[in-house]
């Protein structure tokens, strides 16, 4: 899925939600044709994300607004840095203001948090991944922010990976049954798709290795020591992923256990937005 495919409808719905029957404050206080300039300023230290998306959002709102970008996605910003300028119709600058800030603050917070995790993995071969623990209808932006922060994207949704988790295992009558059924389903599905399966203990891991056919095994709530043992058992026959409550304090120990991926829901579900503001002046 491309951001461009989604953006026009997203902006349309966001403006409907915010605008209602009109921006009565701007209509009451500012001439309709007035022209102005606004600058986006960083009020915090972190990793910038959403610049390119915001440029497209501004264009969707009013294609006569000029956007001058000073800092690109992935830039490290500090308090007082100017990110970009918007010039044109003041009413439409103010219409864009909150949507633009909301998206960029959220994305930059995610990118900043992701960069913290990525930095802790330096010198290892482990990649930190996001999850589906995202804000409904904002997933495409939040996963892009993870990428900008240096992380990797796990599946986007339910459609692009067969991921057998604990509930699938329990509902299907056991881990062997779940994996066998997934393999059979894949042979009948007329598109390439990988199978990942979550294991909760060493017994389930050995069952999965006995059946075979998984492209990746998720080691859920394993200790770093158990992850190291699981990686030894798997011995490169498929990719490995650790998950379950892994934090900034523990991620390095999991990476050093030799796992290929570490998935961290906290990249998107509990980040603090980066503080940005838009300040106006007349042209």
By the 10 Å C-beta count (0-12 exposed, 13-18 middle, 19+ buried), 212 is classed as exposed
Q: Choose the catalytic residue: 196, 198, 204, 260.
A: 196
Q: Choose the catalytic residue: 165, 183, 186, 239.
A: 165
Decide the pairing of beta strands 76-77 and 46-47.
Answer: antiparallel
Place of tokens 């969707």: 60
CA torsion, points 108, 128, 253, 158, in degrees to nearest 10? 120
Q: Is 188 a catalytic residue?
A: no
> Would you say 141 and 53 are in contact if contact means Cβ atoms under 8 Å apart?
yes
Query: Any residues with CB less than 8 A from the CB of 83 and at least 6 apart, and which?
Result: 39, 40, 41, 42, 48, 51, 69, 70, 71, 77, 104, 276
Q: Choose the catalytic residue: 12, 98, 206, 237.
A: 98
Q: Tell me how far apart the alpha carbons of residues 33 and 66 are, in angstroms, rounded to a whole number.
A: 15
Q: Tell me how far apart the alpha carbons of residues 270 and 211 are, in angstroms, rounded to a whole number.
A: 37
DSSP string, 126-175: -EEE--S-S-TT-HHHHHHHHHHTT-B---SSTTS-EEE-HHHHHHTTSH
Sheet holding 162-164, edge to edge: 127-129, 261-263, 239-243, 216-220, 195-199, 162-164
Q: Is 165 a catalytic residue?
A: yes
Q: Is 183 a catalytic residue?
A: no
Q: Tell me how far apart the alpha carbons of residues 86 and 59 are, in angstroms, rounded to a whole number.
A: 11
Q: Is 237 a catalytic residue?
A: no
Q: Is 200 a catalytic residue?
A: no
Q: Choose the catalytic residue: 39, 87, 133, 147.
A: 133
Q: Choose the catalytic residue: 144, 220, 241, 260.
A: 220
Catalytic residue list: 98, 133, 165, 196, 220
């Amino acid at each position: 899925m491309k951001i461009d495919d989604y953006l026009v409808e997203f902006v349309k719905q966001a403006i409907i939600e915010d605008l209602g029957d009109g921006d009565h404050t701007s209509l009451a206080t500012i001439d309709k044709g007035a022209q102005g300039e606004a600058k986006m300023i960083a009020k915090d230290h972190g990793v910038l994300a959403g610049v390119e998306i915001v440029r497209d959002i501004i264009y969707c709102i009013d294609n006569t607004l000029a956007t001058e970008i000073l800092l690109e996605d992935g830039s490290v910003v500090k308090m007082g840095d100017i990110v970009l300028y918007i010039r044109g119709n003041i009413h439409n600058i103010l219409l864009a203001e909150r949507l633009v800030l909301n998206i960029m603050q959220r994305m930059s917070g995610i990118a900043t948090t992701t960069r913290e995790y990525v930095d802790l993995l330096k010198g290892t071969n482990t990649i930190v991944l996001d999850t589906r623990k995202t804000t409904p209808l904002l997933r495409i932006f939040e996963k892009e922010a993870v990428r900008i922060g240096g992380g990797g994207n796990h599946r986007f949704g339910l459609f692009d990976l067969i991921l057998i988790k604990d509930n699938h295992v329990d509902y299907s009558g056991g881990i062997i049954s779940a994996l066998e059924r997934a393999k059979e389903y894949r042979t009948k599905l007329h598109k390439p798709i990988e199978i990942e399966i979550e294991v909760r203990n060493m017994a389930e891991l050995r069952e999965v290795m006995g059946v075979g056919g998984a492209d990746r095994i998720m080691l859920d709530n394993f200790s770093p020591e158990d992850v190291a043992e699981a990686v030894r058992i798997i011995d490169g026959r498929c990719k490995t992923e650790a998950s379950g409550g892994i934090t900034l304090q523990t991620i390095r120990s999991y990476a050093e256990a030799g796992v290929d991926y570490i998935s961290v829901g906290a990249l998107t579900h509990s980040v603090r937005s980066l503080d940005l503001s838009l300040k106006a002046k007349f042209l």
